Every structure is written in structure tokens, then in C-alpha cells.
Amino acid sequence: MPNKQKLQNLSGRAHIVGVAESNKLGKVPEKSPLVHHSEAAINALDDAGLQFADVDALFTAGWSTLDVAEYLGIHPRYTDSTSVGGSSFVIHVAHALAAIAAGYCEVALITHGQSGRSDRAPIPRNPGTPMAQYEAPYGIIGPPISYAMAARRYMHEYGEDRTRQAMAEIAVSTRKWANMNPMAYFYDKPATFDDYHNSKWVAWPFHLLDCCLVTDAGAAIVITTPERARDAKNGSVAILGAGEGHDHSGISQMPNLTKAFGRHTGPQALEMAGITHSDLDLAMIYDSFTYTVLVSLENLGFCAPGEGPDLVASQRTAPGGDFPVNTNGGGLSYTHPGMYGIFTVVEAVRQLRGQAGQRQLDNCDLAVAHGTGGLLSSTGTVVLGVQ
Amino acid sequence: MTNTTSKPQPVSQPESDRYWAGLKNEEIWLQRSTTTGEFQFYPRNFSISEPENGSEGIEWVKVSGQAELFTYAIVHAAPHMGFVGEVPYITALVRLQEGVIIPTNIVGVDPEPEALCIGMLLKPVYEHSDVSQTLLKFTPA
């Protein structure tokens, strides 16, 4: 079991000093995934005021760090290709904190690049996995169907109409944030409740507007010691708490369809940071689907199981609301190249550093970034704060 | 997987050969722990409820296939070229009488939410193939 005392000692012992996206997000067929990795790395190091030569640790998912380091021309002394779906990059933040505190490295670079929309060479799947053997032959393939079955179970347990309303609230509020983010895919396109309810079915109970985008995108994060963070070009954000883990791979093996692993990682990350939910100014919650946000908020402990629909009611999570969630426009309306978790951290850092432009929150000092990977399989949670 | 137009087929593994062979004969064989009596799906080389006993800790048991609907989705956007001609179709997790949950399809019923009720009783349907494994699907009992 995690050692609470040691984790509390680890709190704040590394800082995020640089975050960035690749140069262009959305439909970018003219760039390969590795180009997104490299652009994001260049931009994040520039944001930090550091050079490639400073980097001594590399973290990535989807790709091996071997290929990414070779392409970038760097020679890391610490390497981590932990790849457990879209939450991986949030988990990398926690791993970088531990590695820096332990002395393995001083400047950690996390990169992500994925052309979910335009990739000429998508990654093949292994037909020997239990998921391929027992689920795929029945057409249980890809995230929408698996998450839809989990959402249908949630509706059975807690009420279909209020679940539907909550999903619509999340779709609409997230779009409002995207309308304030020039990098968002749907920056210029508002969406109403009618648009939500009238959008086509993808996998009932999911409408199209319950589902994230599929884009081409990249992002990167630079993390260093508290001492070196004092020289950061654009300010730094402390990594105060973290948790990670997973339950299952395929949805049919999920122990409880309405209780994902955030039930462990949320409480652990907050306790490590020494804070409670009401201390948080921003929640960046991986939104592969509207339902993912609903169930994640409950799992993290923002409310009791089944009370998520009340938590997100009446556009509380939208611009001007008292519970801001996914201020970049999320995977639903900003970008989602296949694995999105890194973007939750990028936005949290921007809000904490006061660099979120039109959508900047007032008095944003503490944020949680929560990634969900696979089929509600893995989660990674970090608490970030200005010190 | 999306670069092929045929449906993905199960690739039986040594630990699951008996499961798939059973379905060919319209029989459902599940594994049960010899000590705890707990059933498991999918087949493994040991019992996850009593892993210390290794391969000695499991036995194969033929079960009836009586089940209830645990949850479902109605797929309108095919996730794979092999299912383009199938939409809309119903994917489901069903709970067998023995307690295990298995992924499957519900057939013989309209692919509409109104036609499906969580908890509804189901019975097995065997979908045979000349070139691949038999699939275990379910229909209202």
C-alpha cells in the first residue's frame, strides 16, 4: 500500500516549468505523430527557458521512448514508456516527481504526439489479448461502445433521465469553454441543449455530442527541481499530490461499472497534497465522453455515488459557474488525438500561472488533473498548485 | 484492425481451447475454483480467487447458460469495417446464473431501448461458423 508519510514528504519536490501544444491541432495530415512530439517539445522547453541539452529524462506513451528520444536527438538518463491509455501522461507527471526527488534526473520531458485523425501508420493491436479474443468478435471494439455500456449501467442504478440531463449539461458547458479557447476544434461553433439531444446516436445511450473528438495533436511538459524552477521563464507550478493505478483492460472485466480507479487515486492525491476537495479552484477531468466526467467526479470524491448529476446541474461547470471543469474545452470540444491526458495538465498549469487568456479563472491556486485510460481501466490523478 | 473488412475472429489460446471447443458442441464450460467454488470468466491457467493453488485449483464445469442482462449498448456507428452491415446491433454484458459476467450480443430482439430491460432473463444462442469459432450470443428466455 502507498506509504502516506513518504508521499507527503514527496509533495512539492518537483515543479512543472513548461507546457505547450504542438503548433497546429485538429486536422493536420501534413504532419506525422513524431512531428507533433517534436514541436510540442520545442515549444514546452521554450516556455520553460530550457534547452534540449538540459533534458535528462524522457517520458512518453503510445510510442517507445527509444523512438522518440532518437527522433528528438536526446540521450536520456532516465526513461519511462508507461503506456496505460490516455491517463499515461498524468501518471508520467507523478513518475517524474519521484524520479527527480530520488535524484535520477533534473529535467524531465514528457511528450505526446498522435494523429488519431490522419495517421498513415496506426498502431496494430495484439490479437492474443483477452479483449481481442472475447470482446472484439461481438463487435465490442473501441471506446464508445464500452463506455456506453458502463453509462447504461449507471442509468440503471441512478436514474436514466437525470443521467441524460447530466451528460447534456457536461456537453454544453464544455463547449462554452471551447468557445473561449482559440486552439479548440470547436472554438467558433457553439452547441445548445437541442443540438445535444438532436445529435445522432453513436452507441445508445451516447449521442455524437457525448463523444470526444478525434484529432491530430501533440503536447509536452517540462518538470524540474524546485531549485531550478526558480529560474523558470514563465513561472512554475508545484506537483503536490499524485495517484495512479488500474483495474482491468476490457470493459467486461471491470469490477464495478460505476466505480473507476479514481476512487483510489483521487483521495490519495488530495491527501498527499494535504488538501480537501473544497480547496480546489479547477478540476481538469479527462472527458473521453460526457459520462467519463460524471463518473470521475464521483470516483474522485467530489460527491457521493449517484450525486454527480446534482454536482454538474444548471451549468455549474461552465464559464461563470462556481465549479469550473475542463476550461480548455476538453476532449469533447478542444482536442482529443486518441490519448488526451497530457492536455488536462497543460491547461491546469496555464490556469495556475494566469496564462489562460479569455478563459482565465480568478484566483486559481490549486487544481486537480485527472486522466482516465483504456476502457475506464486506468487513472492517474495529480494535484498542482502555485507556491 | 480497421484495415480489414472481415469481422475479427477469436484466436483461441491454449488456456481457452476447451471453452471454444465446448461452444462448437453447444455447451458452455466455465472454470470454477476447487477451493472457493467461485466461477471465473475468462479461462485462465489458474483461479484468480485462489491463485496459490495454480493449475490444481481449477476445474471445468458445464453450465446451463441461463443469464440476465447486466448492461448493453445499441451500436449505430460501426467500430470496424466488419460490422458495417450489422448496425444497429446490441452489445451486452450478461450475468450468468453462476455469477460471471461475459461480453456478448443480444439477438432476436429489436435494437431499441424499449425492447431491452436490465435484469431481463436470457438464454444462449450458438452462432456457428465454418471458418472460425462458435460465438455465444443471447436472446430473451
Task: Transcribe A328-348 into DSSP letters.
Answer: T-HHHHT--SS--HHHHHHHH
User: A43 lies in which domain range?
Assistant: 4-117+214-295+333-385
Write the CB contacts of A40 (distance below 8 Å, at least 6 apart in sequence).
A20, A21, A22, A111, A112, A113, A218, A219, A220
Q: Is residue A22 part of a domain?
A: yes
Question: Residue A258: closest CA among chain B residues belongs to which residue?
Answer: B71
Q: Is residue B32 part of a domain?
A: yes
Q: Are residues B100 and B136 in the same domain?
A: yes
* pLDDT for the residue numbered B87: 98
Q: Residue A6: how many CB atoms within 10 A of its CB? A: 9
Is-cis flag, bond preceding A196, omega within 30?
no
Q: Is residue A356 part of a domain?
A: yes
ipTM of this predicted structure: 0.96
Q: Are residues B72 and B129 in the same domain?
A: yes
* pLDDT for the residue numbered A126: 86
Average pLDDT over residues A271-290: 98
Chain B residues inside the 8 Å CB shell of A125: 1
Q: What is the pLDDT of residues B37-62, one digit of tens each?
A: 999 999 999 999 999 999 999 999 99
* Residue B113 touches partner A, C-beta closer than 8 Å: yes
Chain A residues inside the 8 Å CB shell of B133: 137
Is 90 exceeded by the pLDDT of residue A125? Answer: no
Q: Is residue A379 part of a domain?
A: yes
Give the domain CATH number at B73.
2.40.50
Q: Is residue A376 part of a domain?
A: yes
Q: What is the pLDDT of residues B70-89, one digit of tens each?
A: 999 999 999 999 999 999 99
Is 90 exceeded by the pLDDT of residue B131? Answer: no
**What does the mean pLDDT of chain A come to?**
97
Q: Is residue B2 part of a domain?
A: no
The residue among A53, A100, A20 whose CA lies nearest residue A92 is: A100
Is 90 exceeded by the pLDDT of residue A44? Answer: yes
Q: Is residue B7 part of a domain?
A: no
DSSP for A74-103, written as a single string: ---SEEE---SSTTHHHHHHHHHHHHHHHT
Q: What is the pLDDT of residues A256-269, one digit of tens each?
A: 999 999 999 999 99
* pLDDT for the residue numbered B3: 44
> Which residue is associated with the grid cell 523558470?
A232
| CB atoms B118 and A150 under 8 Å | no
CA distance A326 to A279: 17
Q: Are residues B74 and B57 in the same domain?
A: no
Pick B76's closest partner by Cβ from A130, A135, A203. Answer: A203
C-alpha torsion sign, points A143, A146, A148, A153? negative
Q: Are residues B59 and B71 in the same domain?
A: no
* pLDDT for the residue numbered B1: 41
Average pLDDT over residues B8-23: 96
- Interface contacts A/B by beta carbons within 8 Å: 109
Is-cis flag, bond preceding A76, omega within 30?
no
* Contact of A89 with A110, CB cutoff 8 Å: yes
Q: Are residues B31 and B56 in the same domain?
A: yes
Distance (Å) from the C-alpha of residue A141 to the closest C-alpha of chain B?
6
User: For chain B, how big is the Rg over CA atoms in Å?
Assistant: 16
Chain B residues inside the 8 Å CB shell of A132: 8, 10-11
Q: What is the pLDDT of residues A296-345, one digit of tens each?
A: 999 999 999 999 999 999 999 999 999 999 999 999 999 999 999 999 99
* pLDDT for the residue numbered B26: 98
Is-cis flag, bond preceding A205, omega within 30?
yes
Of B35, B63, B91, which residue constitutes the final position of a domain? Answer: B63
User: B125 lies in which domain range?
Assistant: 65-141
Pick B91's closest partner by Cβ from A122, A140, A201. Answer: A140
* pLDDT for the residue numbered A128: 87
Q: Are residues B35 and B86 in the same domain?
A: no
Q: Is residue B71 part of a domain?
A: yes
Assess whether A185 carries a catalytic annotation.
no
| CB atoms A205 and B73 under 8 Å | yes
Q: Are residues B71 and B59 in the same domain?
A: no
Q: Is residue A244 part of a domain?
A: yes
The residue among A107, A109, A69, A63 whose CA lies nearest residue A82 is: A63
Q: Is residue B1 part of a domain?
A: no
Residue type, A292: T
Q: Are residues B101 and B52 in the same domain?
A: no
Q: What is the pLDDT of residues A202-216, one digit of tens each?
A: 999 999 999 999 999
* Contact of A236 with A16, CB cutoff 8 Å: yes
Q: Are residues B48 and B101 in the same domain?
A: no
Write the CB contacts of A314 (distance below 8 Å, at least 6 apart in sequence).
A169
Q: Is residue B8 part of a domain?
A: no
At residue B4 the predicted structure's pLDDT band, cuts being 50, 70 and 90, is low
Q: Are residues B75 and B54 in the same domain?
A: no
Q: Is residue B3 part of a domain?
A: no
Give the least confident one: A74-88, A122-136, B21-35, B39-53.
A122-136
Pick B72's closest partner by Cβ from A134, A152, A250. Answer: A152
Q: Are residues B81 and B47 in the same domain?
A: no
Q: Is residue A205 part of a domain?
A: no
Average pLDDT over residues A218-240: 98
| CB atoms A204 and B79 under 8 Å | no
| CB atoms A136 and B8 under 8 Å | yes
* Residue B120 touches partner A, C-beta closer than 8 Å: no
Our CA angle for A171, A173, A178, nearest 5°, is: 90
Q: Are residues B123 and B69 in the same domain?
A: yes
Give the domain CATH number at A356.
3.40.47.10
Assess whether A334 carries a catalytic annotation.
yes
Q: Is residue A164 part of a domain?
A: no
Question: Residue A157: closest CA among chain B residues belongs to which residue?
Answer: B118
- The tally of domains found in chain A comes to 1
Class of residue A361 by CB neighbours under 10 A (exposed 0-12, middle 13-18, buried 19+): middle
- The tally of domains found in chain B comes to 2
Q: Which residues share a beta bridge with A322? A: none
Q: Is residue A263 part of a domain?
A: yes
* Contact of B100 with B64, CB cutoff 8 Å: no
Phi then psi dihedrals of residue A308, to 5 deg? -55, -40
Distance (Å) from the C-alpha of residue B80 to the closest C-alpha of chain A?
7
| CB atoms A137 and B79 under 8 Å | no
Of B43, B63, B83, which residue constitutes the final position of a domain? Answer: B63
* pLDDT for the residue numbered B2: 42
